[in-house]
Amino acid sequence: MPDLLQQLHETTSFIKSRYAHTPEVGIVLGSGLGNFAQEINVEHEISYDLIPHFPVSTVEGHHGKLIFGELSGKKVVVMAGRFHFYEGYTPEQVAYPVRVMKKLGVSNLLLSNAAGGVNPAFKVGDLMIITDHISFSIVNPLLGKNHSELGPRFPDMSEPYPKAIIKKAKKIASSLDIKVQEGVYFAVTGPTFETRAEYKLIHKLGGDAVGMSTVQEVIIAVHMDLPVFAVSVITDIGIREDDNIITHEEVLQAAKEAEPKLTAIFKHLVAEL
């Protein structure tokens, strides 16, 4: 079986044979946020199942293709659909596309996700800029052999989400009159939504939102020295006294309604990166 470096070479060689330009920004779209791709001047699309060593999306709301094109005057590559640990993929597979995007030439990575609100001040439809994360409940994708060609054995995680990019995004949101929250993203494996007790514990541990994605991708990005900006769409509120049943359909609907705000911020941020 080929090692990681060989796999990356085969994957990127295939993609470059289909798309000759070098993307500057990588974007990953979370659950229910796939319509963002309509804002892109699409130049080429590649279905995940055609790409060597690429996993395939299995979750509703994730389209499953790489989209190449232009957005706000920049060449971009967009993942319409991401991969999750709960689908049965290894942490390394979950984050593999981030390595591929870095190898393709991207210099910044924008991530979005649908998340459960834990901070009682949040409401459904809020956008939360992720300022930090807690990853104790997931499996680290860097376990095992380290490839020094890709990054250090012990990456520093003191600032996984650069403050300078967050400052730009907040300024953009203010100019567009879009209210944004800021907070800590608490990563879990899923696929079950959290119990009432778990939501309360996550809040006590410092989480403002909880979700089943993103953090493994961020760890790999930091490992490869790839700056990250990430936003959670708050699609449900976990700590509440009334009916606490949450469905994936409700999550997708809430994400869809918040999508125009996220799209506007991403478009302007890409222009300024």
Q: Which pLDDT does position 231 carry in this prediction?
A: 97
Identify the sign of the CA torsion 129, 36, 27, 107.
negative
- pLDDT the model gives residue 1: 44
Per-residue pLDDT of the chain (273 residues; tens, 9 = 90+): 469 999 999 999 999 999 999 999 999 987 666 677 788 999 999 999 999 999 876 666 556 899 999 999 999 999 988 899 999 999 999 999 999 999 999 999 999 998 999 999 998 889 999 999 999 999 999 999 999 999 999 999 999 999 999 999 999 999 999 999 999 999 999 999 888 899 999 999 999 999 999 999 999 999 999 999 999 999 888 766 566 566 767 767 777 778 889 999 999 999 999
Predicted local distance difference test score (pLDDT) of residue 158: 97
| Separation of alpha carbons 185 and 252, rounded Å | 19
Cis-peptide into 91, omega within 30 deg: no
Q: What does pTM read for this prediction?
A: 0.92
DSSP-derived secondary structure letter, 148 = T
Amino acid 76: pLDDT: 97
Residue with the two structure tokens 């696929």: 191
| pLDDT attached to residue 124 | 87
Q: How far apart are CA 87 and CA 190, in angstroms?
A: 9
Rounded to whole angstroms, what are the CA distances from 214 to 153, 207, 232?
21, 15, 10
- Residue 159 CB coordination number (10 Å): 13
What are the backbone angles phi and psi of residue 170, rounded to the nearest 5°?
-65, -40
pLDDT value, residue 54: 93
**So what's the pLDDT on residue 217?**
98
Question: Are 210 and 116 spatial neighbours (Cβ–Cβ below 8 Å)?
Answer: yes
Q: Structure tokens of 214?
A: 């993103």
165 vs 67: CA distance, rounded Å: 24
CATH tag, 4-272: 3.40.50.1580
Structure token digits, residue 268 = 């302007």
